[in-house]
Structure 1
Amino acid sequence: MLVVLGFYRRKPGLSHQEFSDYWTNVHGPMLRDHPDIAPHIKYYVQHHLEPNPSGDVRDVGFDGFSEAWYDSAEDRARVVQSAAFQAIREDEAMFIDLTQTRVSVIDTQRVIIDNR
């Protein structure tokens, strides 16, 4: 299993709500609905970090992060090398500050608690 984590800051000039709305209603469906991409992704999860006016949680410097789970590195390569992925990358510039994006690829997970 391969997991790609992406950490995102919204594009300057966008409110947190505008960022979340675009990511949920425009960008997410581009991944979900594309026949050259969706079959190769096991899970795609968006985490929208809410503004914290009370100050009881430290700001991590990002507006959200995503998880893209793949069964193999080959599945990820199929996605990244597809023509459709280029359009998705271009769409990220509509709502993400690309200079602040951070990505991490994880190939090993250790489950510490599993109460299923």
Structure 2
Amino acid sequence: MIKLTILLKRNPQQSHEDFLWFYKNEHARLFSSLPVVQNEVLQYDQFHALPVAMPGLPEPSFDGTAELWFRDAQAMFRVFTSDEYIKMIRPSEKQFLQLSECSVLISVHHRII
């Protein structure tokens, strides 16, 4: 299995609270409704950043993360290159995300503890 982790930066025209509401309530519903997502995504988790800084570390630079699990890279590509994703999700992402400031990590999971 592989995991896609996306570090999300909100559109600067939105407040952090508005971003989180839209991400949790609208984006998740729309994304999860796509048949290709239902067929290919094994798990989808959202993590919402808290407005808390750790002493001695930089201020948080992302507003949240998404973690999506797939059987393999081909399943991931089927989701993100599908016509339904491009037509329905991409325009929504452009409204609530600053896509050029988001970061992506595609990884293989190794449990340590």
Q: TM-score scaled by structure 2?
A: 0.89
Question: Which residue of structure 1 lines up, in the alignment, with residue 97 of structure 2?
Answer: 96
SS at match of 2:68: strand
Shift of 1:64: 0.4
| Residue of structure 2 in register with 1:78 after alignment | 78
Deviation at 1:36, TM superposition (A): 2.2
TM superposition outliers: structure 1 runs of 4+ over 2 Å? 55-60
Please state whether the residue corresponding to 1:69 is helix, strand or coil.
Answer: strand
Q: Unpaired runs of 5+ in structure 1?
A: none
Instruction: Measure, in 1, the Cα distance between the counterparts of 2:71 and 2:82.
Output: 17
Q: Decide whether the 8 Å contact of 2:40 with 2:76 is kept in 1.
A: yes
CA distance in 2, matches of 1:73, 1:99: 22
Aligned position for 2:60: 60
Aligned residue in 2 for 1:45:
45
Structure number with the higher helix fraction is 2
Q: What amino acid maps onto 1:37 in structure 2?
A: V
Identity of aligned residues (%): 27
- CA offset at residue 110 of structure 1? 1.3
**Structure 2: 5+ residue stretches without partners:** none
For normalisation by structure 1, the TM-score amounts to 0.87
* Secondary structure in 2 matching 1:11: coil
